[in-house]
Amino acid sequence: MPSFEAQDPAFDANVRRSFEGLTLMRTVGARLQRVAPGEVEIDLPFREDLTQHHGYMAAAVLTAIVDVACGYAAMTLMPFGASVLTVEYKVNFLSPAEGERMIARGRVIRPGRTVTVCSGDVVAISCDSEKVVATMLATMATVGGPGRDVPEPRANRTEGHQRTVGSHRQRDSFRSRWCVCRRLQRVAR
């Protein structure tokens, strides 16, 4: 496995602080276990309320934890202030997800300034043995950081995103490319 060097000396603390703010991870009971340059591990104890109709951990839950693990693995290699958004992923489910807990391991395959490719596995732990139950290939986009616009924190956004059409800066930032205001501006022309 390739060895990477973090650009941000505080990457571990920043990833952990960000993870603590993820309501979905708190809701399912996921815990951030390990953070290293280009690698993240998330632990999820098995819970009946997260299973599908056959009693296995639901695919959506497995996908969520491995997507988050891959995203934070990418974030460990980004400059201070940068974050990630998932651009795409593909998941293969290899075996029914049953066991005492699930561990999602995300790792960077190829880092980039704007796009990072990651892979991840979810393993089911039963009686100290591991079985791979899902594997993911994901692409993460860098958002924020030096030379990029950092999105406003959720608490500072106005209800309904009430900005005047075209109020974004002229420079085509990631946020303005995906904002409904940009689309409304094109329609108004």
pTM of the model: 0.77
- Condensed to tens digits (0 to 9), the pLDDT of residues 80-93 reads 999 999 999 999 99
Query: Which amino acid appears at position 151 of this protein?
Result: P
- Condensed to tens digits (0 to 9), the pLDDT of residues 15-57 reads 999 999 999 999 999 999 999 999 999 999 999 999 999 999 9
Average pLDDT value over all residues in the chain: 84
Q: What is the mean pLDDT of residues 94-117?
A: 97
Structure tokens at 142: 């860098």
Tell me if 116 sits within 8 A of 142, measured CB to CB.
yes
- Condensed to tens digits (0 to 9), the pLDDT of residues 31-41 reads 999 999 999 99
Packing angle of the helix pair 11-20, 59-75 (nearest 10 deg): 150
Please tell me the predicted confidence (pLDDT) of residue 154. Answer: 52
Task: Classify residue 181 as left (phi > 0), alpha (psi -120 to 50) or beta.
Answer: alpha
The sheet with strand 129-144 has its strands ordered as 31-36, 39-45, 101-110, 115-126, 129-144, 82-93
Q: What backbone phi and psi angles, to 5 degrees, belong to 38?
A: 80, 5
Could you give all domains of the chain from N- to C-terminal order, each with its CATH number?
Answer: 11-143 (3.10.129.10), 158-188 (no CATH)
